[in-house]
Amino acid sequence: MNEELLNNAIVGGESGITLDSNYVPPNLIDLKEAVPNAYYPYYDVEIQQEAIQPIQDFVNDLIQHGYVPYITYGYRSYELQEQLHHDLPNDAASPGASQHQLGITIDIHSYAKIDDNGNITWYDASTDYGYSEPTILAIQLAAKYGIAHPMAWDAPHFFVAAAVCPTIDIYLQSIEDPVYSTYYNELNAVIAQIQQECL
């Protein structure tokens, strides 16, 4: 495991650290090339190397269930987070406090369901009525790959905890109602607690 990544993994929330404005994860990779069977925007989506395999396994599982995810964000720089927080103070974490700056977090904006004739139906991650069907499925599938959905109000947001701690899936699979739970602070506490085991 990557010690630098682990030491910075607990970000934001009540007990997390604030990342430096110049913190950039050590090994960012173009997710479009590494996991080509998802949908992406025109701009780059970069992800830390350790998160690639769990994301690939997760994406493959979603596709087997009939949904292709549209991944709109991975790593976000401090400057970009600053801009987002300025524009959307209630929706975007303050600069230095976002899991996106770690490079092990993705946002799935929507999901494409492709029928036998090749027709695509798009599902947003959530609607006015709550999570869409593929979001519920995705959250349920994610835990076994060590991928957390730590904030119930943030439907698109998935944190690849396995990238810093391979045994974290045991904790994630023990959460009673993962779909509608917010466990951001608890997740940070668990990672801190099992830090030795993670390396």
| Binding site residues, Zn ion, CB under 5 A | 107, 157
How near is the Cβ of 100 to Zn ion at its closest, in Å? 6
How near is the Cβ of 19 to Zn ion at its closest, in Å? 15
Structure tokens at 45: 């989506």
How near is the Cβ of 93 to Zn ion at its closest, in Å? 8
How near is the Cβ of 107 to Zn ion at its closest, in Å? 4
Closer Cβ to Zn ion, 3 or 79, answer by number: 79
How near is the Cβ of 157 to Zn ion at its closest, in Å? 3
Closer Cβ to Zn ion, 107 or 169, answer by number: 107
Closer Cβ to Zn ion, 32 or 100, answer by number: 100
Q: Which residue has the tokens 């979001």?
A: 135
Structure tokens at 32: 């479009």
- Give the DSSP per-residue string, the chain: --HHHHHT--BSTTT-B---TT---S-EEEHHHHSTTSB--SS--EEEHHHHHHHHHHHHHHHHTTEEEEEEES---HHHHHHHHHH-TTTSPPTT--GGGGT-EEEEEEEEEE-TT--EEEEESEETTEE-HHHHHHHHHHGGGT-B---TT-TTEEE-GGGT-TTHHHHHHH-SSTTT---HHHHHHHHHHTHHHH-
Closer Cβ to Zn ion, 74 or 146, answer by number: 74
Closer Cβ to Zn ion, 46 or 107, answer by number: 107
C-alpha distances out from residue 96 to 32, 59, 163, 198, Å: 25, 28, 19, 23
Closer Cβ to Zn ion, 32 or 157, answer by number: 157
How near is the Cβ of 159 to Zn ion at its closest, in Å? 8
